């Protein structure tokens, strides 16, 4: 595939064949090399063929092969003429990450770290097929799907300041009735659980402060300050919603003419397109509620062990979602539907979507690394709005398949290595540790460097894990 | 082993085969669960009946595997193996009936991965004389 170099960090797939727009890859030479080795570039070109796509089909620095849309892909469609595609959102709708800050310093917690991790492991359900610990009626679930994190706070899980610092204030305008009974059945037992796979809860310490002024505004400017990251999604409910609508869209619109069956879509303005968006938003709310409940249990565990502690939400960002937003194209303000699959919103100052507390500086962007490596907090920018529909990467993309990781690494060895690095891991399985180790992931330092240099997300702090909880 | 995994960065891609379409589908089910826990180690103490349909063979395979994930989420069902399976044409669609054996007590098994969904990505069903191979990518 022909790739044109525009600048050291910007590459173009020129418009060709059935592409309506060119493809843009934001990556270093090294990261582009990884993309050449799988199907990423072809997928970026495929997305450019979809109806109503605007300006360009984008790959983020951490992009890798997905199905239909690559993971780390961004595409915006005209709201009147364009399409909405479940594959451009992902199966794990609103897979997302919340960052909490505390007023603890890491040396205050080390002597009781094991106790804390054990308490979190007990307090927060996790693991494959894991059930939440509350009984959820159908009625309750419909409330959750309508009100998301705000429902959870109403029930006593945390406080309103938590959702005030969450994307969409933890509640998207949703259509819970567009969620199938099957999806409800999968979701009900799982409300309030972490899940498994690449989902985790991490106890971290601030390692480097790149931008002290912004870090202070975010409340995370003290070296060795303890932070906590919660990374999970909408569990079986979201997966079922994605699956249901892929099926429905295929039945109604077919997949003829599509370069890939998984690019199944519906016009945004069609009944089915609107229904999907409503169901997607409901699933997103499930994930928001989930993290809100987990936040409450994190506070419980921390307060139980360390006494009365400040545990506050910094921000909570989506990385598998479609959003209706206004963006400027050719000097004109336009309504578009932005698909971010494995990509994070990265708005700069002035956007109405941002909470009051961040509106004048821009939003925090949270990039979780892989287990055992650094994670980053970035600042959203006006530049991202200009060149990537207000988006940046979502974290470290994978480079190694799980089967390869399992054949190369043993969980016990990885655990020991992490322990030698000062990180304590508690996981439901050794193999899970082997599959999720840093060797399986792209270099997040490189991904964030590129984001920073391009100006789509500026470095604020780097955090390092001291404790990891995995399902 | 009637299945094997192929390199795929983010997800799990496998090929499963059998002498018939039904056998290949059974192998695919085992392959999918092997991502989470070794099916051979799961005790066949519990049975579930499965009944799905699809417009074509791919849709049927998708529906079959997805039903198994649904059973995992709602009944905590871990697969040991497919005891019986039949695929037939009914009117203008394909129907599948099967009985799956496994366990619903998850605690006793080491579960190390999570299959979030079945996908149509790179899905292939190849039918030759005496051998059927299916290829599936599942989202992790």
Tell me the DSSP string of A104-140: EEHHHHGGGHHHHHHHHHHHS--STT---SS---HHH
Residue B139 pLDDT exceeds 90: no
Is B76 part of the contact surface with chain A (CB cutoff 8 Å)? yes
From CA A245, how far away is CA A249, in angstroms rounded?
Answer: 6
From chain A residues 23-62, the ones with a CB under 8 A of any chain B CB are: 38
Q: Which residue has the higher pLDDT, A434 or A442?
A: A434
Asked if A428 lies within 8 A of B112 by C-beta distance, the reply is yes
Residue A197 pLDDT exceeds 80: no
Q: What is the DSSP string of A247-296?
A: HHHHHHH--TT-SSGGG--EETTSHHHHHHHHHHHHHHHHHHHHHHHHHH
CA distance A239 to chain B (A): 6
Which of B60, B120, B124 would best serve as a mutation to test chain A binding (most A beta carbons within 10 A)? B120
Residue A434 pLDDT exceeds 80: no
Asked if B121 lies within 8 A of A260 by C-beta distance, the reply is yes
Q: Which residue has the higher pLDDT, A219 or A400?
A: A219
Is B125 part of the contact surface with chain A (CB cutoff 8 Å)? no
Residue among B10, B55, B113 minimizing CB distance to A432: B113
Residue among A186, A195, A431 minimizing CB distance to B74: A186
- In A359-439, DSSP assigns E strands to 364-367, 375-379, 391-392, 424-427
Asked if A38 lies within 8 A of B139 by C-beta distance, the reply is no
CA distance A434 to chain B (A): 9
Mean pLDDT value across chain A = 93
Please state the ipTM of this predicted complex.
Answer: 0.90
Least confident of A5-14, A59-68, A164-173: A59-68
The 10 Å Cβ neighbour count of residue A227 is 25
Q: What is the pLDDT of residue A167?
A: 98
CA distance B103 to chain A (A): 13
Q: What is the dihedral of CA A313, A319, A323, A329, to 10 degrees?
A: 110
Overall average pLDDT of the A231-260 stretch = 92
From CA A387, how far away is CA A390, in angstroms rounded?
Answer: 7
pLDDT in tens, A115-151: 999 999 999 988 876 778 888 999 999 999 999 999 9
pLDDT in tens, B7-49: 765 678 999 999 999 999 999 999 999 999 999 999 999 999 9
Q: How confident is the model at residue A316 (pLDDT cuts 50, 70, 90)?
A: very high
Which of A316, A320, A278 is closest to A153 using CA atoms? A316
Using a CB-CB distance cutoff of 8 angstroms, which residues of chain A are in contact with residue B139?
Answer: 67, 91-92, 239
Residue among B106, B112, B139 minimizing CB distance to A432: B112
Q: Which two tokens stand for residue A395?
A: 């974290």
Q: Which two tokens stand for residue A99?
A: 């960052």
Which of B55, B52, B43 is closest to B25 using CA atoms? B52
Residue among B7, B69, B114 minimizing CB distance to A196: B114
From chain B residues 102-121, the ones with a CB under 8 A of any chain A CB are: 106, 110-114, 116-121
Asked if A239 lies within 8 A of B106 by C-beta distance, the reply is no
Reduced DSSP (H G I as helix, E B as strand, rest coil) percent helix, strand, coil of chain A, to 5: 40, 25, 35
Q: What is the pLDDT of residue B26?
A: 97
Beta pairing class for A69-78 and A225-232: unpaired
Using a CB-CB distance cutoff of 8 angstroms, which residues of chain B are in contact with residue A185?
Answer: 70, 73-74
Overall average pLDDT of the A306-310 stretch = 96
In this structure, are residues A68 and B120 in contact, taking their beta carbons and an 8 Å threshold?
Answer: no
Reduced DSSP (H G I as helix, E B as strand, rest coil) percent helix, strand, coil of chain B, to 5: 30, 45, 30
Asked if A186 lies within 8 A of B73 by C-beta distance, the reply is yes
Q: How confident is the model at residue A227 (pLDDT cuts 50, 70, 90)?
A: very high
Q: How confident is the model at residue A425 (pLDDT cuts 50, 70, 90)?
A: confident
Overall average pLDDT of the A421-445 stretch = 75
In this structure, are residues A424 and A203 in contact, taking their beta carbons and an 8 Å threshold?
Answer: no
Residue A403 pLDDT exceeds 70: no
Asked if A404 lies within 8 A of B7 by C-beta distance, the reply is yes
From CA A426, how far away is CA A86, in angstroms rounded?
Answer: 34
From CA A191, how far away is CA A188, in angstroms rounded?
Answer: 6
Which of A243, A258, A283 would best serve as a mutation to test chain B binding (most B beta carbons within 10 A)? A243
Domains in chain A, ordered, with CATH? 4-83+95-399+441-470 (3.90.1860.10)
Q: Which domain holds residue B70?
A: 3-139
B57's CB contacts (< 8 A; 6+ apart) are B21, B94, B125
In the numeric block, the tokens 């139980």 are attached to A304
Is B1 part of the contact surface with chain A (CB cutoff 8 Å)? no
Asked if A67 lies within 8 A of B11 by C-beta distance, the reply is yes
Active site residue A419: no
Q: How confident is the model at residue A237 (pLDDT cuts 50, 70, 90)?
A: very high
pLDDT > 90 in chain A, percent: 79
Mean pLDDT value across chain B = 92
Using a CB-CB distance cutoff of 8 angstroms, which residues of chain B are in contact with residue A404?
Answer: 7
Residue among A182, A197, A261 minimizing CB distance to B113: A197
Residue B129 pLDDT exceeds 80: yes
CA distance B87 to chain A (A): 20
Residue A455 pLDDT exceeds 70: yes
Is B79 part of the contact surface with chain A (CB cutoff 8 Å)? no
Using a CB-CB distance cutoff of 8 angstroms, which residues of chain B are in contact with residue A64?
Answer: 9-10
Asked if B119 lies within 8 A of A471 by C-beta distance, the reply is no
Q: What is the pLDDT of residue A131?
A: 79
Residue A365 pLDDT exceeds 90: yes
Number of domains in chain B: 1
CA distance B123 to chain A (A): 10
pLDDT in tens, A39-91: 899 999 999 999 999 999 999 999 988 878 999 999 999 999 999 999 999 99
Q: How confident is the model at residue A432 (pLDDT cuts 50, 70, 90)?
A: low
Using a CB-CB distance cutoff of 8 angstroms, which residues of chain B are in contact with residue A431?
Answer: 110, 112-113
Q: Which residue has the higher pLDDT, A254 or A165?
A: A165
Q: How confident is the model at residue A467 (pLDDT cuts 50, 70, 90)?
A: very high
* B18 to A319, A370, B23, B54, B80: CA distances (angstroms): 39, 37, 5, 20, 17
Overall average pLDDT of the B60-72 stretch = 96
Asked if B70 lies within 8 A of A182 by C-beta distance, the reply is yes
Rg of the Cα trace of chain A? 21
Is A180 part of the contact surface with chain B (CB cutoff 8 Å)? no
pLDDT in tens, B67-126: 999 999 999 999 999 999 999 999 999 999 999 999 999 888 888 778 888 988 889 999
Asked if A197 lies within 8 A of B116 by C-beta distance, the reply is yes
Give the CATH number, domain containing residue B99.
3.55.10.10
Say which of A239, A339, A394, A419 is annotated catalytic: A394
């Amino acid at each position: 595939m022909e790739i044109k170099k525009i600048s050291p960090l910007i590459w173009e797939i020129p418009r060709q064949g059935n592409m309506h727009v060119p493809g843009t890859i934001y990556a270093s030479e090294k990261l582009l090399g990884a993309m050449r080795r799988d199907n990423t570039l072809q997928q970026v070109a495929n997305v450019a063929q979809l109806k109503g796509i605007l300006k360009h089909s984008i790959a983020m620095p951490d992009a890798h092969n997905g199905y239909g849309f690559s993971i780390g892909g961004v595409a915006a469609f005209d709201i009147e003429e364009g399409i909405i595609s479940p594959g451009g959102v992902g199966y794990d709708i609103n897979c997302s990450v919340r960052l909490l800050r505390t007023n603890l310093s890491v040396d205050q917690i080390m002597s009781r770290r094991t106790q804390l991790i054990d308490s979190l492991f007990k307090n927060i359900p996790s693991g494959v097929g894991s059930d939440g610990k509350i009984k959820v009626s159908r009625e309750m679930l419909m409330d959750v799907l309508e009100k998301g994190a705000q429902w959870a706070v109403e029930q006593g899980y945390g406080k309103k300041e938590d959702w005030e610092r969450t994307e969409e204030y933890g509640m998207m305008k949703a259509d819970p009735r567009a969620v199938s009974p099957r999806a409800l059945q999968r979701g009900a037992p799982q409300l309030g659980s972490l899940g498994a796979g690449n989902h985790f809860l991490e106890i971290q310490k601030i390692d480097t402060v790149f931008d002290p002024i912004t870090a202070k505004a975010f409340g995370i400017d003290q070296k060795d300050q303890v932070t906590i990251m919660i990374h999970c999604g909408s569990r079986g409910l979201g997966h079922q919603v994605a699956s249901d609508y892929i099926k429905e869209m295929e039945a109604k619109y077919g997949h003829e003419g599509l370069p890939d069956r998984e690019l199944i879509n519906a016009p945004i303005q069609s009944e089915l397109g609107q229904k999907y968006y409503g169901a997607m938003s409901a699933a997103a709310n499930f994930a928001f509620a989930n993290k809100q409940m987990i936040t409450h249990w994190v506070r419980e565990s921390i307060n139980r062990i360390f006494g009365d502690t400040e545990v506050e939400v910094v921000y909570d960002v989506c990385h598998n979602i479609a959003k209706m937003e206004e963006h400027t194209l050719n000097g004109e303000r336009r309504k578009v539907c932005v698909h971010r699959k494995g990509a994070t919103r990265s708005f700069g100052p002035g956007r109405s979507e941002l909470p009051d507390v961040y509106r004048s500086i821009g939003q925090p962007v949270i990039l979780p690394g892989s287990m055992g490596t650094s994670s980053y907090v970035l600042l959203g920018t006006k530049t991202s709005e200009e060149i990537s529909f207000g988006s940046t990467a979502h974290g470290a993309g994978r480079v190694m398949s799980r089967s390869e990781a399992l054949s190369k690494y043993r969980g016990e060895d990885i655990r020991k290595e992490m322990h030698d690095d000062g990180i304590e891991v508690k996981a439901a399985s050794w193999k899970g540790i082997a599959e999720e180790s840093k060797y399986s992931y792209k270099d997040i330092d490189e991904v964030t460097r590129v984001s920073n240099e391009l100006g789509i997300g500026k470095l604020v702090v780097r955090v390092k894990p001291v404790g990891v909880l995995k399902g | 082993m009637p299945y094997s995994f192929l390199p795929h960065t983010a997800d799990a891609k496998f090929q499963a085969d059998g002498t018939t379409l039904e056998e290949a589908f059974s192998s695919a089910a085992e392959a999918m669960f092997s991502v989470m826990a070794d099916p051979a180690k799961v005790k066949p103490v519990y049975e579930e009946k499965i009944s799905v349909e699809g417009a074509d063979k791919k849709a049927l395979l998708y529906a079959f595997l997805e039903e198994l994930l649904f059973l995992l989420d709602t009944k905590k069902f871990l697969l040991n193996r497919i005891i019986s399976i039949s695929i037939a044409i009914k009117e203008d669609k394909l129907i599948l009936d099967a009985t799956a054996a496994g366990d619903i007590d998850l605690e006793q098994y080491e579960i190390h991965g999570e299959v979030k969904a079945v996908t149509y990505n790179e899905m292939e069903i190849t039918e030759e004389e005496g051998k059927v191979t299916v290829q599936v990518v599942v989202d992790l």
